[in-house]
Amino acid sequence: MSARKSLLLLVERCGIFSGLLCVSLGTLASLGVIAPSKLSILVLPEMVITFVVAFVMIRVVNEYTAIARAGEPWWRKARGINSEDIKILTRWCPPWEKYGSWVVAGVLIAVLLPGGHVSWSPGDPFQLREVRALIFGPALAIFFVIPYIASARRMPGSYADRDSK
Protein backbone atom coordinates (compact mmCIF):
# COMPACT_ATOMS: atom_id res chain seq x y z
CA MET A 1 0.00 0.00 0.00
CA SER A 2 2.83 2.45 0.79
CA ALA A 3 4.08 2.11 -2.82
CA ARG A 4 0.77 3.43 -4.24
CA LYS A 5 1.61 7.12 -3.87
CA SER A 6 -1.16 8.47 -6.12
CA LEU A 7 -3.82 6.60 -4.15
CA LEU A 8 -2.34 7.85 -0.88
CA LEU A 9 -2.36 11.42 -2.23
CA LEU A 10 -6.03 11.13 -3.26
CA VAL A 11 -7.07 9.67 0.11
CA GLU A 12 -5.03 12.25 2.04
CA ARG A 13 -6.49 15.21 0.14
CA CYS A 14 -10.06 13.90 0.28
CA GLY A 15 -9.70 13.25 4.02
CA ILE A 16 -8.31 16.71 4.75
CA PHE A 17 -10.97 18.41 2.62
CA SER A 18 -13.78 16.38 4.18
CA GLY A 19 -12.52 16.94 7.70
CA LEU A 20 -12.04 20.68 7.27
CA LEU A 21 -15.42 21.07 5.55
CA CYS A 22 -17.23 19.22 8.32
CA VAL A 23 -15.40 21.05 11.11
CA SER A 24 -16.14 24.40 9.45
CA LEU A 25 -19.83 23.67 8.86
CA GLY A 26 -20.20 22.07 12.30
CA THR A 27 -18.65 25.15 13.90
CA LEU A 28 -21.00 27.42 11.97
CA ALA A 29 -23.94 25.29 13.14
CA SER A 30 -22.69 25.50 16.73
CA LEU A 31 -22.52 29.29 16.44
CA GLY A 32 -26.06 29.44 15.04
CA VAL A 33 -25.06 30.66 11.56
CA ILE A 34 -26.31 27.47 9.84
CA ALA A 35 -29.30 25.43 10.96
CA PRO A 36 -28.12 21.99 12.20
CA SER A 37 -30.83 20.34 10.09
CA LYS A 38 -29.00 21.44 6.93
CA LEU A 39 -25.99 19.28 7.88
CA SER A 40 -27.78 15.94 7.96
CA ILE A 41 -26.95 15.46 4.28
CA LEU A 42 -23.23 15.31 5.18
CA VAL A 43 -23.49 12.31 7.50
CA LEU A 44 -23.36 9.50 4.94
CA PRO A 45 -20.63 10.96 2.67
CA GLU A 46 -18.48 11.81 5.68
CA MET A 47 -18.88 8.30 7.10
CA VAL A 48 -17.85 6.78 3.77
CA ILE A 49 -14.78 9.03 3.50
CA THR A 50 -13.89 8.28 7.13
CA PHE A 51 -14.05 4.54 6.54
CA VAL A 52 -11.94 4.79 3.36
CA VAL A 53 -9.30 6.92 5.11
CA ALA A 54 -9.25 4.56 8.11
CA PHE A 55 -9.02 1.50 5.84
CA VAL A 56 -6.03 2.94 3.99
CA MET A 57 -4.32 3.85 7.28
CA ILE A 58 -4.92 0.33 8.62
CA ARG A 59 -3.41 -1.14 5.44
CA VAL A 60 -0.33 1.12 5.77
CA VAL A 61 0.17 0.23 9.45
CA ASN A 62 -0.41 -3.46 8.69
CA GLU A 63 2.21 -3.35 5.91
CA TYR A 64 4.70 -1.71 8.27
CA THR A 65 4.14 -4.17 11.12
CA ALA A 66 4.29 -7.20 8.82
CA ILE A 67 7.72 -6.11 7.59
CA ALA A 68 9.07 -4.65 10.84
CA ARG A 69 8.12 -7.74 12.86
CA ALA A 70 8.93 -10.43 10.32
CA GLY A 71 10.43 -13.46 12.04
CA GLU A 72 9.10 -12.55 15.49
CA PRO A 73 6.83 -14.89 17.45
CA TRP A 74 3.09 -14.44 16.96
CA TRP A 75 2.53 -12.87 20.41
CA ARG A 76 4.93 -10.02 19.57
CA LYS A 77 3.30 -9.49 16.19
CA ALA A 78 -0.13 -9.26 17.80
CA ARG A 79 0.76 -6.69 20.47
CA GLY A 80 -0.11 -3.65 18.34
CA ILE A 81 2.03 -0.59 17.74
CA ASN A 82 3.92 1.39 20.35
CA SER A 83 5.28 4.94 20.54
CA GLU A 84 8.45 3.98 18.63
CA ASP A 85 6.33 2.55 15.82
CA ILE A 86 4.26 5.74 15.73
CA LYS A 87 7.44 7.81 15.39
CA ILE A 88 8.57 5.63 12.49
CA LEU A 89 5.14 5.64 10.83
CA THR A 90 4.92 9.46 10.96
CA ARG A 91 8.60 10.22 10.25
CA TRP A 92 8.02 11.69 6.77
CA CYS A 93 4.88 13.66 7.62
CA PRO A 94 5.49 17.44 7.56
CA PRO A 95 5.38 18.88 11.10
CA TRP A 96 2.60 21.35 10.22
CA GLU A 97 0.38 18.50 9.05
CA LYS A 98 1.25 16.11 11.88
CA TYR A 99 0.86 18.54 14.75
CA GLY A 100 -1.96 20.48 13.09
CA SER A 101 -3.97 17.29 12.65
CA TRP A 102 -3.40 16.22 16.23
CA VAL A 103 -4.27 19.69 17.60
CA VAL A 104 -7.54 19.67 15.65
CA ALA A 105 -8.17 16.13 16.93
CA GLY A 106 -7.54 17.34 20.50
CA VAL A 107 -9.98 20.23 20.09
CA LEU A 108 -12.59 17.86 18.66
CA ILE A 109 -12.13 15.52 21.63
CA ALA A 110 -12.76 18.46 23.97
CA VAL A 111 -15.92 19.31 22.02
CA LEU A 112 -17.14 15.69 21.97
CA LEU A 113 -16.51 14.82 25.65
CA PRO A 114 -19.63 16.48 27.07
CA GLY A 115 -21.78 14.98 24.29
CA GLY A 116 -22.80 11.72 25.92
CA HIS A 117 -24.96 9.20 24.08
CA VAL A 118 -26.43 10.25 20.74
CA SER A 119 -28.81 8.37 18.46
CA TRP A 120 -30.29 9.64 15.23
CA SER A 121 -32.28 8.31 12.30
CA PRO A 122 -32.81 10.10 8.97
CA GLY A 123 -36.45 10.89 9.80
CA ASP A 124 -35.56 12.75 13.01
CA PRO A 125 -34.67 16.45 12.98
CA PHE A 126 -30.91 17.01 13.12
CA GLN A 127 -30.06 18.90 16.32
CA LEU A 128 -26.84 20.47 17.61
CA ARG A 129 -26.13 17.39 19.73
CA GLU A 130 -26.13 15.22 16.59
CA VAL A 131 -23.86 17.71 14.82
CA ARG A 132 -21.29 17.21 17.55
CA ALA A 133 -21.43 13.43 17.35
CA LEU A 134 -22.09 12.69 13.68
CA ILE A 135 -20.14 15.55 12.07
CA PHE A 136 -17.30 16.20 14.51
CA GLY A 137 -16.79 12.51 15.43
CA PRO A 138 -15.78 11.24 11.98
CA ALA A 139 -13.74 14.42 11.42
CA LEU A 140 -11.83 13.53 14.61
CA ALA A 141 -11.04 10.09 13.21
CA ILE A 142 -9.89 11.59 9.92
CA PHE A 143 -7.55 14.10 11.54
CA PHE A 144 -6.11 11.45 13.82
CA VAL A 145 -5.08 9.15 10.93
CA ILE A 146 -4.05 11.68 8.25
CA PRO A 147 -0.40 11.90 9.49
CA TYR A 148 0.12 8.17 8.86
CA ILE A 149 -1.14 8.43 5.28
CA ALA A 150 0.79 11.67 4.63
CA SER A 151 3.99 10.10 5.90
CA ALA A 152 3.58 6.96 3.77
CA ARG A 153 2.93 9.15 0.72
CA ARG A 154 6.04 11.27 1.24
CA MET A 155 8.28 8.37 2.20
CA PRO A 156 10.76 7.43 -0.52
CA GLY A 157 9.78 3.98 -1.82
CA SER A 158 7.70 1.65 0.32
CA TYR A 159 8.12 -0.25 3.58
CA ALA A 160 8.94 -3.36 1.58
CA ASP A 161 11.71 -1.49 -0.28
CA ARG A 162 13.16 -0.16 2.97
CA ASP A 163 13.25 -3.66 4.45
CA SER A 164 15.11 -5.16 1.49
CA LYS A 165 18.05 -2.74 1.86
Domain ranges of the chain: 5-164
Per-residue pLDDT tens digits for 93-137 = 999 998 999 898 888 888 777 766 677 777 777 788 888 788 888
3-state secondary structure the chain: CCCCHHHHHHHHHHHHHHHHHHHHHHHHHHCCCCCHHHHHHHHHHHHHHHHHHHHHHHHHHHHHHHHHCCCCCHHHHCCCCCHHHHHHHCCCCCHHHHHHHHHHHHHHHHHHHHHCCCCCCCCCCCCHHHHHHHHHHHHHHHHHHHHHHHHHHHCCCCHHHHHHC
| Predicted TM-score of the model (pTM) | 0.83
